[in-house]
Amino acid sequence: MKLVLAVAATLLAAPALAEPLKITAVNNVLATFAERIGGEAVTVTMPAPEGSDPALWKPAIADISAIQQSDLILLNGAGYAAWTTKTSLPRSRTVTALAGLEREIIETEGAITHSHGPEGEHAHTGQDPHTWLDFALAARQARAIGDALARKLPEADLGTDALVAELEALDARAASIAPRLPQPIVASHPRYAYFARAYGLEIISLEWGAGQEPGPEDIAELEQILSETSASIFLWEKSPSEAAAAAVSALGLENVTFETGAQAGENMLSAATTALDSLEKLAE
């Protein structure tokens, strides 16, 4: 009996295992960073459904209610996910990864409105939000997330330093490859301004819809660019169909897929590594 009582007392005295910190991230880049940093100490949700662009996704009331219950809400900044500016989010539990880095944001000129994907019509204007494609800037965003998690989880063994080191290695590798690439590079969509600025590249952006087949007008626009430049590389934000890739190859361009890592099912770190592997093969 004494032994049973002693065991019971020990169990009652033992501290309860802490529940994982519940984190909501506005895109899969920030979600990937939070998972890498927090490990088993966190549960991370990216609410935009698979196949949608988190930058354009609009949450329902139920989605907003769930997000508001999070222990930590990770925003990108630079105008990413416009719904976040129209919704009341708990300030003490909201972290903007670009806070203090506003001078690094690229302002876009003019506005191009078009429609593709489940989000329908949208415009590219204001601020370019794809900041993490400058890998050095991504490392600083990761550090900001790590600092926020450290405040919430002071006893946890966080992976901030390892993630920052991985991003800095990507930055160094991109800086080594870029000067040896033939330019300009043509891209299917305006996603790569930070990548271009960081690594001294000239990238001409088209407005081809992700996952959509280029039409005759699209091919004609590309042919016009090729008549005026010596471009030989084409960046796709999504893996193209065989027909689309063949149409571009027929014009003398090398196809390179460079996903941003923002959407559900994507991983920015592996996508960047894969893209750099492909670009390195084309470097002179």
Give the helix/strand (H/E) hosting 280.
helix 268-282
pTM of structure: 0.88
pLDDT, tens digit, 9 for 90 and up, residues 51-87: 899 999 999 999 999 999 999 999 999 999 999 999 9
pLDDT higher at 266 or 126: 266
Fold of 172-282: Rossmann fold (3.40.50)
How many residues belong to the chain? 284
Domain spans, the chain? 21-108+116-163, 172-282
Q: Which of 197, 205, 203, 173 is nearest to 280 (CA)?
A: 173
Distance of CA 52 to the CA centre of its chain: 13
- Edge-to-edge strand list for the sheet holding 254-257: 203-205, 185-187, 233-236, 254-257
Rg (CA), the chain: 22
Q: What is the Cα–Cα distance from 246 to 194, expressed in whole angstroms? A: 28
Domain 21-108+116-163 identical in fold to domain 172-282: yes
Residues 173-191: pLDDT tens digits?
999 999 999 999 999 999 9
CATH class belonging to 21-108+116-163: alpha beta
